[in-house]
């Protein structure tokens, strides 16, 4: 699965379209004080995997339209689907006419697909292979990257911002690091 590569290709294309030239910074090995956080992430991945499997099972067992299986979906999805259906009914301005079943099916499928994507992303455990794939991609496009084994990326980024001896100016830092 190469979603990480396609995701970064999209990111690179978007940044370049705005004339932004990125330097990618990888985290080094996590410090010992991050053990608790890493365990929490593992548990979150496991929970997401179970939720994804349950959702896949509901979809597989749905013999008719997915909208006929709404009651078997997790409560948060049921609420989201119902809210979206209510919005559609409000748009029609005709409270005496029921919403078209095809629209209900489209709403249900759309929300379920989004949930599947969200859960799939939460299930991914980044591996050394992922990182190496990205480094190879960056090398292929002559994009700079930094990977210091004993430093966290946020520390490296901060240092780049403070450094005055660079041939370039750091205007922005983007990160999805949550800790």
Q: Tell me which residue of 59, 55, 28, 54 sits closest to 145, measured CA to CA.
A: 28
The pLDDT value recorded for residue 179 is: 58
The pLDDT value recorded for residue 60 is: 78
- HSE, CB side, 13 Å, CA atoms: give it for residue 115: 25
pLDDT in tens, the chain (179 residues): 788 899 899 999 999 999 988 999 998 887 777 788 888 888 988 898 898 888 888 777 776 677 677 787 888 888 998 898 888 877 776 655 677 778 888 888 888 888 888 888 777 778 889 899 999 999 999 999 999 988 888 889 989 989 888 888 888 888 777 65
Other Cβ atoms closer than 10 A to 70: 20
Distance CA 37, CA 40 (A): 5
The pLDDT value recorded for residue 134 is: 94
The pLDDT value recorded for residue 2 is: 80
3-state secondary structure of 142: coil
The pLDDT value recorded for residue 10 is: 93
Whether 134 contacts 8, CB under 8 Å: yes
The pLDDT value recorded for residue 144 is: 93
pLDDT digits (tens, 9 = 90+) for 33-49: 778 888 888 898 889 88
């Amino acid at each position: 699965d190469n979603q990480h590569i396609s995701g970064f290709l999209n990111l690179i294309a978007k940044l370049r379209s705005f004339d932004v030239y990125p330097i990618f910074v990888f985290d080094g090995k996590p410090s010992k004080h991050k053990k608790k956080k890493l365990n929490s992430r593992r548990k979150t991945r496991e929970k997401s995997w179970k939720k994804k499997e349950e959702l896949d099972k509901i979809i597989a067992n749905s013999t008719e339209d997915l909208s006929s299986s709404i009651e078997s979906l997790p409560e948060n999805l049921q609420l989201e689907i119902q809210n979206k259906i209510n919005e559609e009914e409000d748009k029609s301005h005709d409270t005496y006419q029921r919403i078209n079943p095809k629209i209900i099916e489209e709403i249900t499928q759309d929300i379920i697909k989004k949930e599947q994507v969200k859960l799939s992303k939460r299930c991914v455990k980044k591996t050394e292979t992922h990182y190496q794939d990205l480094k190879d991609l960056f090398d292929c496009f002559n994009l700079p990257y930094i990977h210091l084994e004993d430093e966290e990326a946020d520390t490296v980024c901060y240092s780049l911002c403070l450094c005055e001896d660079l041939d370039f100016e750091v205007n922005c830092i983007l990160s999805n690091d949550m800790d």
